[in-house]
Amino acid sequence: MLVFLLTIHNYYFMYMLVPFLCLYILFRYIWMNKLLELKPIVFIEIKYIGIIFLGLLLAAFSLLPNAYIVFSMPRFADNATSLLTHLNFNEVYRLFSSIYTPVMNIFSYNPFISSWDGINIGWNGGGSLYSLIIFPFLIPLLFAIKDKRKKKILLTSFLLLFIFLYFKSFYILFQRTLESRWFYMFTFLAAFALTYINEEIEKENITRKQITYSLISIIACIFMVFVCSYIFKFNDLSSIKNILKTLIPVYLCIILYYIYYMKYKSLSLVLIAILSFEAIISGYLYCKSNTPLEEVFFKTEFLLEDVIKVIKENDSSFYRIVLDKESMPDYYKKANIPFAYDFPGVSMYTSTYEGNLSNYLRRINSGLWIYDTLFGRSEMYDQLSAKYYITYGENSSQSIPLDYEYLFDKNGFNVYVNNYSIGLGYALPSYSEEKMPSSYLEQDQIMQNFIISSDGENSNWTNSLKFLGKLTSDSYRELWLDIPIHDGILYFENFGIPCLTIELWNEDILIKKVTVEQFDYIDLIINDTEYVNKIVVIGEDIYDTNLFMNVFLKSHESLLREKENRKLLENIQYSKNKLTCSIETIDESLIYTSIPYSKGWQVYVNGMKVNTQKVNDGFLGFDIPGGDSKIKLEYKTPLKIPGTLISLITFTFIILFWINKYKQKIFKTNKT
């Protein structure tokens, strides 16, 4: 029942807890039984795995639909780690050296090596092996335990977990990510081992000489960690001195532990004082390295709610709302914040959303998990059915997407509306997915004029971009234009220059300036009052490979022509899991919808069910005949019915089992 309740309450925690339960049952049974035989060990493990599995089956009505969604996420579906892929030297060093420092920073739990050097083990929420500061001092005493059976159990358990850690396939199995939130297995085992070792010291089963050797080994390890940090250039000398200065109170705790065990272990108050000091120091180091969030950080959420409320009261159509990340308060710049205020459209939260959309989101995602963190890609807002664009404060972004008009402001938020928003979707000619060019810029331009599908018919298109020039200089690049440009979108297609600043000038007047990093292309909007005759790009070619950048322009007229060619879905009505709409086309057409593709969507055209397909690299599409078409889209949760049947069968089995057991008990009582 506990596994059942945990599964329907939080699938994520259940997924991490089940492997731990299986290991814990095995460990606990072996620890408590002196006479060990393989047969009863296997039997007890199978028995408890069966009980856990029964709880999972009971929760199948929730588990299967959630598993379908979670396992299609990019962090699951796109993971290519092989069975024998293992930690490299830097990663092993990071984990080993973390034993000698408490968790100090949420983004890097180990100051001895950068969290960006290698995979994100322990990054942003992960746990350190140094779960207890007493750990590095007492753990060498595992080898001093006199009870050989218990010593073998503990050493074997640690060895097993380190094997799980060394091969990436194991901890990807536990969480399907390269973080270390499952380190509570180590934490449990460390706490258990330290408690037992402490008891052995209290009983004087471990000698003072062995305790001294343990201290010497720890001091040697700490010295080696600092030396390696310098030799392998993970830190310079000044950084190492600062780290040592910071960690001196922690290492003082280890010395105090040693003194206590050698002289004062009869005075429990001394141990309490040391533990209290350790707790204060650990908490202080963490708080010092992480700026606490103030109440004002969350207040803007409620201010934005008022703005969304005004939009909802005045617009009942189908749309999305996009936040300008450049000007938004800090609350909206953090990853893992789902933007869902119940407005009549589909919110995006790619960490827990359909993985079918991952390829599309890669082209516009700036590294976080929410799609509206994109910078540039103004035309792609249409693909996402983004009708409203919200900025914050007086210093709002200079790049309001073209054709977004100012609507109103409230609580410091400025709202702009796109009068050409596509709403639910549109009809356009199809384009062959196989013929798509590799350039994201060209792909996005094709996507404005066609619907991309696996069986698309067209493979030719007329590029409406005007080539302005090529920038090749190493650090300072200038492009002078004979005729000033205005009222359109400038595109900068980057071929490898990592970090740069773009400036738009009219003679000696700076019109616009942006600084960007790691992009394949970016667009900058210039309105009809901004005349540009000089473009400056500043950025070092740090790889010294003669990288370059192409500059293009799309006129406002071309942009409007593309938008007007789309035949939009009309008469949109929606409920919780159903949408109805209509469209009139001359010929048979392919329909694009701004809804992410999922097998759960059932589409009916004029009462007849039609096949769905993935279009535009992640969205729901389907074919319609020519003429007037009435369309119904209905969502049915995948695996919900099979999951419900499994739950009912399991529940029936459990009821029958307990009825039978109750009858047997009554029979035995009557017989007695």
Question: At 272, which amino acid appears?
Answer: I
pTM: 0.77
Q: Cβ neighbours of residue 459 under 8 Å, at least 6 residues apart?
A: 431, 432, 435
List, for residues 588-641, the tens digit of each pLDDT value: 899 999 888 888 899 999 999 999 999 998 899 999 998 999 999 999 989 999
Find the range with the poorest average confidence among 265-279, 335-349, 595-609: 335-349
Residue 512 has φ and ψ, to the nearest 5°, of -155, 145
Is 352's pLDDT higher than 70? no
Lookup result for tokens 């809804």: 595
- Write out the H or E segment, with its range, that includes residue 20: helix 11-32
Is 479's pLDDT higher than 90? yes
Q: Whole-angstrom Cα distance, residue 298 to residue 654? A: 47
Residue 109 has φ and ψ, to the nearest 5°, of -75, -5
Tokens (6 digits) for 310: 């005004």
Q: Whole-angstrom Cα distance, residue 167 to residue 300? A: 44
Find the range with the poorest average confidence among 8-17, 242-251, 637-646: 8-17
Tokens (6 digits) for 354: 């359909």
Task: State residue 372's pLDDT score.
Answer: 37
Task: State residue 373's pLDDT score.
Answer: 38
Whether the Cβ atoms of residue 256 and residue 248 lie closer than 8 Å to each other: no
Task: State residue 133's pLDDT score.
Answer: 65
Share of the chain above pLDDT 90, in %: 32
Whether the Cβ atoms of residue 168 and residue 178 lie closer than 8 Å to each other: yes
List, for residues 25-38, the tens digit of each pLDDT value: 888 888 888 767 78
Task: State residue 182's pLDDT score.
Answer: 66
Q: Whole-angstrom Cα distance, residue 336 to residue 352? A: 9
Whether the Cβ atoms of residue 271 and residue 260 lie closer than 8 Å to each other: yes
The angle subtended at Cα 167 by Cα 165 and Cα 168, nearest 5°, is 85
Q: Whole-angstrom Cα distance, residue 180 to residue 120? A: 8
For the segment 394-405, the average pLDDT, to the nearest whole number, is: 77
Q: Whole-angstrom Cα distance, residue 165 to residue 178? A: 10
Pairing of strands 404-410, 425-428: unpaired
Pairing of strands 589-596, 619-624: antiparallel
Q: Whole-angstrom Cα distance, residue 645 to residue 651? A: 10
Q: Whole-angstrom Cα distance, residue 556 to residue 378? A: 13
Domains of the chain are: 1-72+639-672 (no CATH), 83-145+153-289 (no CATH), 296-421 (no CATH), 464-564 (2.60.120.1380), 567-635 (2.60.40)
The full 3-state SS of 355-391, as one line of letters, equals: HHHHHHHHCCCCCCCCHHHCCCCCCHHHHCCEEEEEE
Q: Whole-angstrom Cα distance, residue 235 to residue 226? A: 9
Lookup result for tokens 């992960």: 126
Is 1's pLDDT higher than 50? yes
Helix (H, G, I), strand (E, B) or coil at 511: strand
- Write out the H or E segment, with its range, that includes residue 488: strand 488-495
The angle subtended at Cα 372 by Cα 392 and Cα 114, nearest 5°, is 100
Strand partners, 49: none
Q: How confident is the model at residue 121 (pLDDT cuts 50, 70, 90)?
A: low
Distance from first CA to last CA of the chain, Å, rounded?
Answer: 32
Q: How confident is the model at residue 368 (pLDDT cuts 50, 70, 90)?
A: very low
Q: In what order do the strands lie in the sheet with 320-323?
A: 320-323, 386-392, 413-418, 404-410
Specify the higher pLDDT residue, 226 or 92.
226
Helix (H, G, I), strand (E, B) or coil at 23: helix
For the segment 470-477, the average pLDDT, to the nearest whole number, is: 84
Residue 659 has φ and ψ, to the nearest 5°, of -65, -45
